Chain A
Amino acid sequence: MPSTRNSGEVTVDIEVASETPVGPGRPLLEIEDLHVEFRTRDGVVKAVNGVSYNVRRGETFAVLGESGSGKSVSAQAVMGILDTPPAHVTRGRILFAGEDLLAMPEDHRRRLRGERLSMVFQDALTALNPTFTVGWQIAEMLRIRRGLSRADGRRRAVELLDRVRIPGAVERVTDYPHEFSGGMRQRAMIAMALALDPDLLIADEPTTALDVTVQAQILELLAELQEENGMALVLITHDLGVVAEVADRIAVMYAGRVVETAAAHEIYQAPAHPYTEGLLASVPRVARRRDRLDAIGGAPPNLARIPAGCPFHPRCGYERPLCRHDEPPLYPVGDGRGSACHFFEEVLDGRA
């Protein structure tokens, strides 16, 4: 993949949108039929079971699901940071700009990381190295990947901290991660992930560890940076509120599968999968104050023993005999929309 960037781009104005075109054409990231399993002493845990989704250049794609739905594991498979063993990618392809990440040599893949695809973690305190200052960590990466001198690296680190709106960036570069507050740590983490100007940023629950006010600020920041860079953003979250705010398209995951994929506004208007419907109903709303929330009954399946048929059928209000035997494929529901429910039409109509 020829890069149009020149390596000595110290002085390149970071505010200029990247040259990657935004819009249709081949998706930047294509995940096809991805299977990941964890081989543990207690048996094989099937964390991801045939996940497919596409992320277009410049869009915000949300992957929504509860703990254990496989959303983070599939993202880690994209980044190539799964712990193997116990995790094994058993099937599927992950195409990034047309190249299969799973088939390329590790060294080639490593060079793509940070450079073209990058990641932000949930807990920025543990995701930053406690033994070095924040500035040093950012500068180190630039020194190695861009060949910057110590002074230039440091200068660029200040610019980057400034860009993620860390006040007093000049003084803060010499601070250690523990001297930052939670929100600022996440900002620093974002600065580091964006240091090499990637085309794709995966944010794995970037706001879960933060309190609500800060969450909004971080989301706003991500959206702003995304617009400036024209990069694609994959936002992994369990928080429907977060998704509503920023996502263009959504994939809802359950038991290691994508159960519904649609444009964000469509999902909120009319979910096409009972699980999505349940998720939406379980969001507390001030306008609809009631004594009880409509929580989804039952518990997420044990991934070592996923139920036959539709994995959601034991918790589903639309369940029929068919659901216990036939695993539904991702049925097309209108334009670019999909639902893995045999009875998606009923769900769409809202007949329970």
Chain B
Amino acid sequence: MSEAKKFRAGSEGIGARGGEERVDAAAGGEAVELSGRRAGLWADAWRELRHDPLFLVAGFVVLVFVAMAAFPGLFSSVDPRACDLSRSLAPPGGGHPFGYDLLGCDYYARVVHGARVSIAIGVLATGSTVVIAVVLGSLAGYFRGPVDTVISRLTDVVFGLPFILGAIVLLSVVGTRGVLEVGLVLVALGWTTMTRLMRSSVLSVVNADHVSAAKALGASDARILATHVLPNAVAPVMVYATIYVGIVIAVEATLSFLGVGLQLPAISWGLMISDAQYRISEAPHLLLFPGLFLSLTVLSFILMGDALRDALDPKLR
């Protein structure tokens, strides 16, 4: 894969200038090949991912669900709230591939519209978590000392709270539970792992020579952080964030299932699965379809994260 690059570095060295560069290129050949992967991290990762069938399939599924969340009308023209009690619990068939729910609403339309909540919570909560993690993690890892102590101990305290239990407690005291409230609770309880990851990643980059070099050339702390530390430290966090979208979506569904997540009349996969639990024997399709969509979404994000991690890890190439 780095064959072309290697050739280029080598040939230019030889052609350009007499004796030194020839020796130089020969000696540097191995280093170029070894380090090439690390240096063009994102470019190399992308080249790798484009040929990874797992990533392509997972990415495609994610795109479909994102489109479903943004434009449900593309997938179903039926109003998910236009219900006809006479069709209550009718099984799939005849233009209504997923059948009907208890209230006689078109289940396919409801499952399609349910994507919005899941994707919205997944993306928003993960996005906010990444922002918090990157800011706190870099401050702690870069400045160390008291800043690190405060941030790390706070992280430890929050990390000690059980995620689901904490969410149940917090959400059960909130009056109305919409996407915003559920999302906020997930961010408030879930930022710790990613912050720790970011901190350790920054710690490993801060000791790199190019950070000392930037300092020796008079760069300010802000600049060192922004151009020398962050770009070299975010990769693990990006991998985890991709996986985390899936985790958040699953947790939202779990909370809704447990009755402390979203509330009716919101349309959400978690709520649908929750409603389905009492009628599994008579109307299994009520559990099957939202469950399938949920699992597919979560799985796709996790597979994407996995593929990204592999692509960013030079040792696996």
Residues of A within 8 A of B (CB): 76, 79-81, 83, 85, 110-115, 118-119, 121-123, 125-132, 140-141, 144-145, 165, 167-168, 172, 176-184, 189, 192-193, 196, 210-211, 213-214, 217
B216/A131 in contact, CB under 8 A: no
A179/B32 in contact, CB under 8 A: yes
Question: Which residues from 1 to 55 on chain B have a C-beta closer than 8 Å to any C-beta of chain A?
Answer: 5, 8-9, 12-13, 16-17, 19-21, 23-25, 27-28, 31-32, 35-36, 38-41
Which of A114, A121, A210 interacts with B212 by CB under 8 Å?
A121
Nearest 4 pairs of A and B residues by beta carbon: A181-B28, A167-B16, A114-B218, A178-B39
- Whole-angstrom distance between the Cβ of A232 and the nearest chain B Cβ: 16
B31/A182 in contact, CB under 8 A: yes
The chain A residue sitting closest to B27, CB to CB, is: A211
CA distance A165 to B208 in the complex (A): 27
Residues of B within 8 A of A (CB): 5, 8-9, 12-13, 16-17, 19-21, 23-25, 27-28, 31-32, 35-36, 38-41, 145, 207-210, 212-220, 223, 227-228, 231-232
- By a CB distance below 8 angstroms, the chain B residues around A210 are 27
CA distance A130 to B9 in the complex (A): 16
Given contacts A178-B32, A183-B20, 6 further A-B contacts (CB under 8 A): A111-B218, A118-B217, A129-B231, A141-B217, A181-B21, A184-B21
Specify which of B39, B213, B214, B228 lies most central, judged by the most chain A CB atoms within 10 Å of its CB: B213
Given contacts A182-B28, A183-B20, contact A125 B217 (CB under 8 A): no
- By a CB distance below 8 angstroms, the chain B residues around A183 are 20-21, 24, 28
B41/A130 in contact, CB under 8 A: yes
- Whole-angstrom distance between the Cβ of B233 and the nearest chain A Cβ: 10
- By a CB distance below 8 angstroms, the chain B residues around A211 are 23-24, 27
- By a CB distance below 8 angstroms, the chain A residues around B208 are 126
- Whole-angstrom distance between the Cβ of B183 and the nearest chain A Cβ: 32
- By a CB distance below 8 angstroms, the chain B residues around A192 are 213, 217
The chain A residue sitting closest to B212, CB to CB, is: A81
Which of A129, A184, A189 interacts with B24 by CB under 8 Å?
A184
A179/B8 in contact, CB under 8 A: yes
A145/B218 in contact, CB under 8 A: yes
CA distance A210 to B25 in the complex (A): 11
- By a CB distance below 8 angstroms, the chain A residues around B232 are 129-131
A-B contact pairs, 17 of them (CB 8 A): A85-B145, A121-B209, A121-B216, A125-B31, A127-B213, A129-B227, A130-B210, A130-B232, A131-B231, A141-B217, A145-B218, A178-B35, A178-B39, A179-B8, A179-B39, A181-B9, A213-B24
- Whole-angstrom distance between the Cβ of A177 and the nearest chain B Cβ: 6
- Whole-angstrom distance between the Cβ of A10 and the nearest chain B Cβ: 19
The chain A residue sitting closest to B40, CB to CB, is: A176
- By a CB distance below 8 angstroms, the chain B residues around A130 are 35, 38-39, 41, 210, 232
A126/B210 in contact, CB under 8 A: yes
The chain A residue sitting closest to B217, CB to CB, is: A114
- By a CB distance below 8 angstroms, the chain B residues around A114 are 216-219
CA distance A180 to B209 in the complex (A): 17
- Whole-angstrom distance between the Cβ of B145 and the nearest chain A Cβ: 8
B24/A214 in contact, CB under 8 A: yes
- By a CB distance below 8 angstroms, the chain B residues around A213 are 19-20, 23-24
- Whole-angstrom distance between the Cβ of A131 and the nearest chain B Cβ: 4
B210/A181 in contact, CB under 8 A: no
A110/B35 in contact, CB under 8 A: no
- Whole-angstrom distance between the Cβ of B315 and the nearest chain A Cβ: 16
B9/A179 in contact, CB under 8 A: yes
CA distance A90 to B16 in the complex (A): 50
Given contacts A81-B212, A110-B218, A129-B227, contact A168 B16 (CB under 8 A): yes
Specify which of B38, B215, B217, B219 lies most central, judged by the most chain A CB atoms within 10 Å of its CB: B217
CA distance A81 to B38 in the complex (A): 25
- Whole-angstrom distance between the Cβ of A171 and the nearest chain B Cβ: 8
- Whole-angstrom distance between the Cβ of B212 and the nearest chain A Cβ: 5
- By a CB distance below 8 angstroms, the chain B residues around A179 are 5, 8-9, 32, 36, 39
- Whole-angstrom distance between the Cβ of A189 and the nearest chain B Cβ: 7
- By a CB distance below 8 angstroms, the chain B residues around A76 are 212
Which of A115, A127, A189 interacts with B218 by CB under 8 Å?
A115
B217/A129 in contact, CB under 8 A: no
CA distance A250 to B212 in the complex (A): 26
- By a CB distance below 8 angstroms, the chain A residues around B213 are 119, 121, 127-128, 189, 192
- Whole-angstrom distance between the Cβ of A114 and the nearest chain B Cβ: 3
- By a CB distance below 8 angstroms, the chain B residues around A140 are 227
- By a CB distance below 8 angstroms, the chain B residues around A127 are 209-210, 212-213
CA distance A178 to B25 in the complex (A): 12
- By a CB distance below 8 angstroms, the chain A residues around B17 are 165, 167
- Whole-angstrom distance between the Cβ of B17 and the nearest chain A Cβ: 4
Which of B27, B40, B210, B216 interacts with A128 by CB under 8 Å?
B210
CA distance A339 to B200 in the complex (A): 46
- Whole-angstrom distance between the Cβ of A156 and the nearest chain B Cβ: 15
- Whole-angstrom distance between the Cβ of A124 and the nearest chain B Cβ: 9
The chain B residue sitting closest to A221, CB to CB, is: B20
